[in-house]
């Protein structure tokens, strides 16, 4: 089980308190679809994904991105039990959505990049390390129920 130090937890929650989940979530999912285009295959019903601007402006992308990042917010309240917190979502992503767990790591990296663009210098190396550890742990938790 992943263990977060008190400093790591403080770094994570401190930054999270300043995140606009709707905006950051939409941007995270948008960037995933732009930078790793094969991920678009999971979102056939989302309409126009034909260009970067179409993707970034797509209301379904924004809405779903917000949903995904809100779930991340739940993770942050359960840093000591991520596998438990994500058990049901893990089963869903395996059994119903058939998402390759590698995509969870890609989305995690995109979230880190968005935090970097939004917070600039405030996104210090120690911040980055804590957040990288979190996104890796969430990706692992989401993959945990795969079979």
> Which residues here bind other proteins, judged by CB under 8 A?
30-31, 34-35, 52, 55-56, 109, 112-114, 116-121, 123-126, 128-129, 132
Q: Tell me the closest approach of the beta carbon of residue 140 to other proteins, in angstroms.
A: 16
DSSP state letters, 92-134: IIIIIS---THHHHHHHHHHHHHHHHHHGGGS-HHHHHHHHHH
Q: Tell me the closest approach of the beta carbon of residue 91 to other proteins, in angstroms.
A: 29
Q: Tell me the closest approach of the beta carbon of residue 34 to other proteins, in angstroms.
A: 4
Please say which residue, 5 or 117, places its beta carbon nearer to other proteins.
117
Please say which residue, 90 or 109, places its beta carbon nearer to other proteins.
109
Please say which residue, 43 or 119, places its beta carbon nearer to other proteins.
119
CA dihedral 79, 27, 20, 43 (to 10 degrees): -70
> From the CB of residue 70, how many other CB atoms can be counted at a distance below 10 Å?
12
- Residue 145 CA neighbour count, 13 Å, CB half: 19
CB 140 within 8 A of CB 61: no
Q: Tell me the closest approach of the beta carbon of residue 92 to other proteins, in angstroms.
A: 27
User: Which among 22, 24, 19, 30 is positioned nearest to 57, based on CA atoms?
Assistant: 30
Q: Tell me the closest approach of the beta carbon of residue 89 to other proteins, in angstroms.
A: 25
């Amino acid at each position: 089980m992943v263990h977060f130090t008190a400093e790591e937890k403080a770094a994570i929650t401190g930054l999270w308190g300043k995140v606009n989940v709707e905006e950051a979530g939409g941007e995270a999912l948008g960037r995933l679809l732009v930078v790793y285009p094969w991920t678009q295959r999971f979102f056939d019903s989302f309409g126009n994904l034909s260009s970067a601007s179409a993707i970034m402006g797509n209301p379904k992308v924004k809405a779903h991105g917000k949903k995904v990042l809100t779930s991340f917010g739940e993770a942050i309240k359960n840093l000591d039990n991520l596998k438990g917190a994500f058990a049901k979502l893990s089963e869903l992503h395996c059994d119903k959505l058939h998402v390759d767990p590698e995509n969870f790591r890609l989305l995690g990296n995109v979230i880190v990049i968005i935090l970097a663009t939004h917070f600039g210098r405030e996104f210090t190396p120690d911040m980055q390390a804590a957040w990288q550890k979190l996104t890796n742990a969430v990706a692992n938790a989401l993959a945990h129920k795969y079979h």
